Chain A
């Protein structure tokens, strides 16, 4: 079955520290991969996406993610976290050929930033 797993439900890091949020997926073929961020009371904002080519992709707000096919992972990273990065982060996968337009989301990781 297709699924997305974000192993860490809650992560706390100090401001200025590095961050890595994990995402593993189970899919029949290489899907499209996305990371979204949801600030409190807000909708989801697209941080970055992977379709093909370079497995290290850059996104907005200084985030990057690396696709590792052998590990079925798409981990999100940021070298230095800012207090404004506190939010919930969702990894999602979508089929390359699908009429449904459906994204399968992970359960989300809540990031808390300590001053």
Chain B
């Protein structure tokens, strides 16, 4: 089944404890993105990647890192999480053309206390 898989689905952590949210797609998509969803703000892009080893900042990159060592994987890293990073996170992927819609993962609900 074609899909984007995120793990974990739910995570509660403490301030400052490094964490990684994994994202993997099996559709050979070039583009991958991370979004965060907050009430009243919709979805905002954190980072994106156009292909292996090509990543760049989105609209809200502060406090996050990403890597794209393989085409299928695009992990989101929070080196020192803070409570304002409590949010619902989505990974998404699509083919290279802008006319393709994104396929989204099921989301990771992160709570930082």
Report whether A90 and B43 are in contact in the complex, using a CB–CB cutoff of 8 Å.
yes
Number of B interface residues at 8 Å Cβ cutoff, please give it.
26
Interface residues of B (CB under 8 A from A): 4, 31, 33, 40-45, 48, 50, 56, 58-59, 90, 92, 94, 98-99, 101-107
> Which residue in A95, A102, A108 is a CB contact (below 8 Å) of B45?
A102
With A100-B56, A102-B58 already in contact, the answer to whether A95 and B98 are too (CB < 8 A) is: yes
Report whether B102 and A46 are in contact in the complex, using a CB–CB cutoff of 8 Å.
yes
Pairs across A and B, CB under 8 Å, 29 listed: A32-B99, A34-B101, A36-B104, A41-B107, A42-B106, A43-B4, A43-B105, A43-B107, A44-B43, A44-B90, A44-B104, A46-B101, A46-B103, A49-B101, A90-B43, A96-B99, A98-B98, A100-B45, A101-B31, A101-B33, A101-B50, A101-B98, A102-B33, A102-B58, A103-B45, A103-B102, A105-B43, A107-B40, A107-B41
| CB under 8 Å from chain B, chain A span 19-54 | 32, 34, 36, 41-46, 49, 51
Closest Cβ of chain A to B65, distance in Å, is 17
> Which residue in A43, A49, A101 is a CB contact (below 8 Å) of B106?
A43
| A-chain residues with CB within 8 Å of residue B101 when the two chains form the complex | 34, 46, 49
Interface residues of A (CB under 8 A from B): 4, 32, 34, 36, 41-46, 49, 51, 90, 92, 94-103, 105-108
Report whether B104 and A32 are in contact in the complex, using a CB–CB cutoff of 8 Å.
no
